[in-house]
Amino acid sequence: MPVRRVRRVIRKIDPWTVFKVALIFNAIAALIFALGVWVMWSILDQRGIPQSISEVFSAVDVVYTPDGDLYMTIVRYLAIIWTVMATAAMTLGAIVYNLISDIVGGIELTVLEETYDPDPQPSRFAKIRAATFKPAAKQSQ
């Protein structure tokens, strides 16, 4: 397939589309983060590591009581706050890009575009006809 170079300019980015994509992406990232912290805490708690840390701190007169429910609540709130803030920042970034691209003209990209010719030029072999079989005429006796 023939290829040609084409210059494209990105002048506008739709903020509503950026908002929807960013919200879904950040919500999935926050869910992965919260589940990862929960799994890590479960593994550490099964091994008794938070209690060991509490014993070390009590030896130096520092009070530390591991509370998994409190930590998971904090992680949940952090994930929600992070999702809202990151989505807002990405949407604001799209709006700022649109304002700047009005001044400077946008980002120019050079891409390769494949061309498709639905009516290709006939080749030199196009005039050759396929061989056909014609049965011989019957001879009467």
105 with 9: CB under 8 angstroms? yes
- Our count of domains for the chain comes to 1
Domain-embedded: residue 93? yes
Domain-embedded: residue 125? no
Domain-embedded: residue 92? yes
Domain-embedded: residue 66? yes
7 with 57: CB under 8 angstroms? no
| pLDDT one-digit tens code per residue, 68-96 | 889 999 999 999 999 999 999 999 999 99
Structure token digits, residue 58: 């009590």
The yes-or-no verdict on residue 34 having pLDDT over 90 is yes
Could you tell me which of 96, 84, 105 has the C-alpha nearest to residue 15? 96
Give the per-residue pLDDT at 122: 62
Host domain of residue 73 = 3-114
Interatomic CA distance for residues 25 and 20, integer angstroms: 9
Mean pLDDT over each residue of the chain, to the nearest integer: 86
Domain-embedded: residue 18? yes
Interatomic CA distance for residues 53 and 5, integer angstroms: 62
Domain-embedded: residue 137? no
Q: What is the pTM of this model?
A: 0.68
